A and B are shown apart, each in its own frame.
Chain A
Amino acid sequence: MTSPLFVPVDAYLVPSLPTVWFGVILFALAMYVALDGMDFGIGMLYATRDERDRETLLAAFGPIWDANEVWLVAFGTTLLAAFPAVYSRLLSEQYLLAILVVMSLLVRGVAPELREQRENAEWHELCDRLFVVGSTVTPLLLGTLVGSWIFGTAAISLPSLLTGVGVVALCLTSGAAFVAAKTSGSLADDMVRYGTASTVAYLGGVVVLLGVVYWLGPSDVRTLLLTAPAAAVVLASVGVGVGGLVAARRGRHRLWFGTTFVLSFLLVGLVAVLLYPTIYPASGLTIDAAVVSPLALNLTTVFGLPVLVLVLWYFKFLYGTFAGPVDGEGYTN
């Protein structure tokens, strides 16, 4: 049958299109880890701040975090659109973990918004607590979910839990770097301290995680870990992480924030290396077996990719509008 939209029905626009979409969903995941990860980090750092600083932190991420959060939805729906079998199996097989993720995301999502609605110390205290807990638990659970996905383990396993802890450390790093880039003085100095500790924890965590996987994992995972791409991603992470710390020490906070962005992408790069060419290790499903039919994927490509470019432009506009330093009153210039 000829498609009324002149999109080929029986073949992919380019033969590698399924792999391209594997890349696109991981790109959305990386954007989520980088951007909302920084919001989670700010949420965790909240616990260390007094009322005045908390206002500053809120002001820093107030205009952008709604948009950051959407990357999770973009990731989920794109996974459903391109690889529905993975979406449905992952979520149904990790039922409780998936439900817990959305619930903690929910608590953390409403807390700062509700806080603003009332000038009352006890109310602020309650919302702040929920925000800190939600901001810590959500990346932990999400990391655990992703860990159990890529290592094909049950929800609660050493590799999956370590992945969760690693994601928490990474979020803390990017949150600290973002706040440092937006502020100055003792607040920024504190951020450098927290950021240093969390970077070391993150890099150490990744090494320990891969060690554990190598030690516990089946032989094909072992071979995979020793391949050039995996080694390259790990070495690059260490290099970028250390580079970020040097930038932080020298007061180049924006550059530091940039390196945390790269770190997030490298982490998702590691996910890609560990998965490819399978996409759902638990049932051995490969990218080619899990992908939707050519017509559906071609359409998603023709209409979806340009929109994705537009979305990136929105983000440039949004971050451009709210560039510059911030204090408790909001953006200062």
Chain B
Amino acid sequence: MILDYSLVTIVQIVQQSALLSPEFGSRLQFGWTITVHIVFAALSIGLAPFIIYFTWKDVRTDDRRYTHLREFWTKVFAVGFVMGTVTGIPMSFQFGTNFPVFAEAAGEMIGGPLAFEAKMAFFLEAVFLGVLLFGRERVSDRTYVLSSVLTGAGAWLSGFWILVVNAWMQTPQGFELVERNGMEVAQLTDPVAAFFTPRMPWMYVHMINASVISVTLLVAGISAYFVWRKRDSEAWNTALRAAVVLLLVTAPFQAIHGDAYGRHIADTQEQKFAAMEAHYETGQADLHLIAVPRSLDAMTDPRTDNLFTISLPALGSFLASGGDFDAEITGLHEYDENPPVAVVFWSFRAMVGLGFLFIGLALWGGNLMRKGQLRERTRYLQAMMLASPLGFVALLTGWYVTEIGRQPWVIQDVLRTNDAVSTTLTASEVTGTLVAFVLLYLALVTAFGFTLKWLMEDELERMGVRDEGDRSRPQLPWVNGDD
């Protein structure tokens, strides 16, 4: 009896302390799967211009350099595409498994774009990737180049349709709420309004550019590594130069566009804007250029008193309103429920900070290129190697601002996340599957990391700079520089 009782108690304690609520567990699960998926989706989008450029140059000039770059990056693209596919399928399932109320209520609004995504974009990418990978000897040069363009177009179109859906969730319009099968669902009334929401162009430009920047940094970092190992590698010098040139265009553009995008958010999602600046009291808003937490509390609950900030007074109001220093910005105190402010606030700072770092790296590289010193300047090569994953960090933190900043709404002002979750889902189910997803996706990320490592090792071997016998030679510069 006593044993029985204590077992029940233990089970209860474990359940209460270790199991997540269906809502929070589902949010974590979706957040985690999208965190991994978005990296691979961005990899496809961002690599597309490189693949097209290298393929086109290869076919046109028959220069070994480009053949080589095409082959290397197409392999990365292929592995990334498979990873993107397998990590993306669970996400579309999760609409049904974890958020069925959302799927049923918004199905009419989001189903069309998602079906277009599959039929128009995903097939295009998958079919012509097959040709790109295996068809060099089997189709004409022209068809081959076209296949690279269509594969890339598939990736970009995919992003378009996904963002049509997401933008609608941020700024929903073009529908009315009606009763169907015992629940309130959104019925399409104006397709043009629903597909081309105010947020859509902002999101698309920002996201595509972010993907290109992320991949450009990856390409730059890997190229810099090979150049650092073998300075006269023409192929990798070419790739490095191409990446620096692309970064010079895309990084400054993102800052300009991001500023205007921020103003748009202030117009359309005041609460999110307030969370981005941790702006609690309605009134004039300052702009915090730099914020450093004074304590652990300030980390988890950022408020101006707890932060060491370098701020420009009233500039928040100025930027949000497009020119009025006295503009009143609604503070977070006005709302019953707020998003996790700390996550949004710090993610936003990380994204913006990294964005400026990328501009700096681009200008530094551009200057070195002008002086013809790109390949010699070891510091720069090492900086680019270190920066190679940072684009993805900026992309993810940006995505967190967008998605977490919208909470508690899954569809802004229409459906709360809490109401969108499955009513049949249990805490143990959601916790168990979350653990499984975390482990599985970590294994995938690790496998991808190793794939990249093996590809790079093969490349070193081909370049004749890999010394199998000498284990003491450092493989990566940040372990032990050897210049």
Chains A and B belong together in one complex: yes
Q: Given that A110-B83, A322-B138 are contacting pairs, would A88 and B103 also be in contact in the complex, using a CB cutoff of 8 Å?
A: yes
Q: Are B188 and A89 in contact (CB under 8 A)?
A: no
Complex: chain A residue closest to B188, CB-CB: A296
- Flag whether A289 is at the interface (Cβ < 8 A): yes
The CA of A61 and the CA of B445, in the complex, are separated in Å by 25
- Flag whether B104 is at the interface (Cβ < 8 A): yes
- Flag whether B408 is at the interface (Cβ < 8 A): no
Q: Are A300 and B130 in contact (CB under 8 A)?
A: no
Q: Are A290 and B181 in contact (CB under 8 A)?
A: yes
- Which B93-113 residues sit within 8 Å CB-CB of chain A? 93, 95-98, 100-104, 106-108, 110-112
Complex: chain B residue closest to A285, CB-CB: B181
Q: Which residues from chain A contact B450 at a C-beta distance below 8 Å?
A: 117
- Which A168-215 residues sit within 8 Å CB-CB of chain B? none
Nearest Cβ distance between residue B247 and chain A, in whole angstroms? 28
- Flag whether A148 is at the interface (Cβ < 8 A): no
- Flag whether A56 is at the interface (Cβ < 8 A): no
Interface string of A57-83 (1 = CB under 8 A from B): 000001110110110111011101111
Contact of A99 among B103, B189, B433 (CB under 8 A): B433
Contact of A292 among B87, B107, B119 (CB under 8 A): B107
- Flag whether A51 is at the interface (Cβ < 8 A): no
- Flag whether A317 is at the interface (Cβ < 8 A): yes
Complex: chain A residue closest to B131, CB-CB: A321
Q: Which residues from chain A contact B96 at a C-beta distance below 8 Å?
A: 80, 87-88, 90-92, 98
- Flag whether A102 is at the interface (Cβ < 8 A): yes
- Flag whether B474 is at the interface (Cβ < 8 A): no
Nearest Cβ distance between residue A146 and chain B, in whole angstroms? 14
Residues of B within 8 A of A (CB): 75, 78-79, 81-83, 85-87, 89-90, 92-93, 95-98, 100-104, 106-108, 110-112, 114-120, 122-124, 126-131, 133-135, 138-139, 178, 180-181, 185, 187-192, 422, 424-425, 429, 433, 436-437, 440, 444, 447, 450-451, 454-455
By Cβ-Cβ distance, the 10 closest A-B pairs, closest first, are: A84-B107, A91-B96, A81-B111, A88-B100, A92-B100, A88-B103, A63-B130, A81-B115, A80-B111, A63-B134
Given contacts A73-B89, A87-B104, A304-B115, 10 further A-B contacts (CB under 8 A): A1-B189, A73-B118, A77-B114, A77-B119, A78-B118, A95-B429, A106-B86, A295-B188, A299-B188, A304-B116
24 contacts between A and B (CB under 8 A): A62-B133, A76-B118, A78-B118, A87-B95, A87-B111, A88-B102, A89-B100, A91-B95, A92-B425, A95-B97, A95-B422, A101-B93, A103-B440, A105-B86, A109-B86, A289-B181, A292-B188, A295-B191, A300-B111, A307-B120, A314-B123, A314-B124, A322-B134, A331-B138
